[in-house]
Amino acid sequence: MKVKALMTLSVTAVSVTALVASGAESQGRTRSISQSSAAQAAQQHPQIVAEFGGEDTSARSAYVRSVGSRVTAQSNITGGGNAFRITTLNSPVMNAFAVPGGYLYVTRQLIGLMNDEAELASVLGHEAGHVAARHSKQRQRASILSQILSVGAAVLTGSSELGQLAGQVSQGLVLSYSRSQELEADDLGVRYIAAAGYDPLASAQFLGSLGAATSLEARASGRNDERSTPSWARTHPLSSERVTRATQKARATGRTTGLRNRDQFLAQIDGIMVDDDPRQGVIDGRTFRHPDLRLRFTVPDGYGMQNGTNALSIVGQGGQAQFTGSAFNGSMANYVAAAFQSVVGQQGRVNFSQPRTTTIGGIPAAYSTARVSTQSGEVDLTIVAYQWSANSAYHFALITPAGAGIGPFEAMVQSVGRLSAAEAAAIRPRVIDVVTVASGDTVQSLANRMAYDDLKLERFRVLNGLAANSSLSPGQKVKLVVYGTR
């Protein structure tokens, strides 16, 4: 979460009328990306990049583009690899997606899960397959609000900030695909990477890694439901059937091997950041800390957090919340009123009581609750605001069942406090460290070096694509997650 106020983004409104003409890519006909769809993608690109924490412009990003160009050159899109633009995003969410106009995106978090270049190629090939097959013309926008917020889709008519809450939880563009579309993109991706000289089995292997990562993330969050499922898995549903089918399609190519380029890939991702970027705050268990804002708070037990570029989303069975900042003119009453308006949108109306003032952890605060009608009935909407300095303020927007008020978030809003200089300085990013297995190293001994307090062994295995009975050999390279420097 950055310091700036939350903005209404149009990223989720990317046109689904992307490519001209019709026909099945699988029939081998050459297609062109229309000038209008390419122009629209270029217009949307800065918003997507901003929502996903910015673009990685390092040499690593150039490497990702080179792999993508090699794969997309095998598609039936006129111009081949030159028709696509490939961007690496600074996001802690495991995701990859394509938008009309040939723009492909992959997050650093998803790259960190990969174990060789062929797996990277498989993901980019899959996304290029969605573009080539024109799935954007057929797919339906999936409202993550209906998936994340129990009060249902379009919680508040005309809502801008709650619509943004959905965007933050999903990290921007979230468009779901049908089962048949996913399978077709899998097939095309396998075909593309095989034609590019990569091992076609990489696709099935990475799908397996994604499945393992999905299960681990659910376990680590303490929940086993859709809200704990990584974004890529939500928008690209995983199943054992997909893994089996991808394996069969790979074997059907006639290639029994191909490029993996593991060493080159590991050299490129050595040092890549994973999980939260401290510049946007970090999630550690139930506690959120922002070293630059010198801020901290703790969410209720059983609630999950999703850190976005401009806001933090909090989700649980008893309610949902968003933490963000906005413009502050010195009046807490005006700030609370503006926060309510940002939730319901400029065309919406909300009647709330006169904000009450208090002090929380030595910080001046104000709060008010309003009853709001939604498509699923009435809910309570509460704003709890904190005057952080003479010219800055932050607030929670809380949604709870009607009559609950602050409800399950009472302890959370009371936990807001300031980090000391030493506490802020101690917050460091997690990064990938590629190490060589030495004599005497074991899966367990290396897992013990992982920069996590829980599930060290499980995290190490998933990160390296290792089965439960896998062993290591001296000289083998593996990935660790360690603390880096700011």
d(CA 196, CA 49): 28
Residue 288's SS3 state is strand
> What pLDDT score was predicted for residue 422?
97
Once rounded to an integer, what is the mean pLDDT over residues 325-334?
91
How far apart CA 194 and CA 198 sit, in angstroms, is 5
Where are the strands (E) in 348-422, listed by range? 356-360, 363-374, 377-389, 392-401, 417-418
Domains assigned to the chain: 11-139+177-271 (no CATH), 279-425 (3.40.1000.10), 430-483 (3.10.350)
pLDDT band at 152 (very low <50, low <70, confident <90, very high): very low
Show the DSSP H helices in 222-353 as ranges. 231-235, 240-252, 262-269, 332-344
Beta strand extents in 162-222 (DSSP E only): 175-176
Cα–Cα distance, 400 to 1 (Å, whole number) = 23
Is the pLDDT reported for residue 146 higher than 90? no
What is the chain's Cα-based Rg? 23
Task: For residues 157-172, give the mean pLDDT.
Answer: 38
360: tokens are 């929380």
The dihedral sign for the CA sequence 343, 15, 207, 275: negative
Task: Judge whether residue 360 has pLDDT over 50.
Answer: yes
Quick one: DSSP state of residue 389? E
Nearest to 320 by CA among 309, 328, 311, 329: 311
Provide the pLDDT confidence category of residue 219 given band limits of 50, 70 and 90.
confident
Residue 3 has pLDDT above 80, yes or no: no
Q: Kindly report the backbone phi and psi dihedral angles of residue 51, in degrees, each rounded to the nearest multiple of 5, phi listed first.
A: -70, -30
272-305 burial, b at 16+ Cβ within 10 Å, e below that, comes to bbbbbbbbbbbbeebebbbbbbebbbbbbeebbb
How many other C-beta atoms can be found within 10 angstroms of the C-beta atom of residue 117? 26
| Bridge partners of residue 398, in order along the sequence | 321, 382
Reduce the DSSP state of residue 388 to 3 states and report it.
Answer: strand
Any idea what DSSP says for residue 304? E
- Contact by Cβ (8 Å): 387, 365: yes
For 265-280, what is each residue's pLDDT tens digit? 999 999 999 999 999 9
The tokens describing 459, both together, are 């995290």
Name 360's bridge partners.
363
pTM to 2 decimals? Answer: 0.80
Instruction: Give the list of residues 6+ apart from residue 476 with CB closer than 8 angstroms, or none.
Output: 436, 437
φ, ψ of residue 357 to 5 degrees: the values are -105, 150
**Amino acid at the residue 155:** V
Query: How much is the mean pLDDT over the chain?
Result: 83
pLDDT at 348: 66
The tokens of 438 are what? 């030495």
Give the DSSP per-residue string, 101-113.
TTEEEEEHHHHHH
pLDDT at 224: 54
Q: How far apart are the first and last CA of the chain?
A: 17
Is 486 strand, coil or helix?
Answer: coil
Dist. CA 311–CA 4, nearest whole Å: 9
Q: How far is CA 21 from CA 27, 32, 128, 247, in A?
A: 14, 9, 17, 32
Average pLDDT over residues 168-196: 75
Taking residues 103-107, report their average pLDDT.
95
Quick: pLDDT tens for 383-435. Answer: 999 999 999 999 999 999 999 999 999 999 999 999 999 999 999 999 999 99
Characterize the bridge pairing of strands 103-107 and 85-89: parallel
Q: Please work out, in degrees rounded to the nearest 5, the angle formed at the alpha carbon of residue 273 by the alpha carbons of 233 and 236.
A: 10
CA–CA gap between residue 70 and residue 122 (Å, rounded): 11
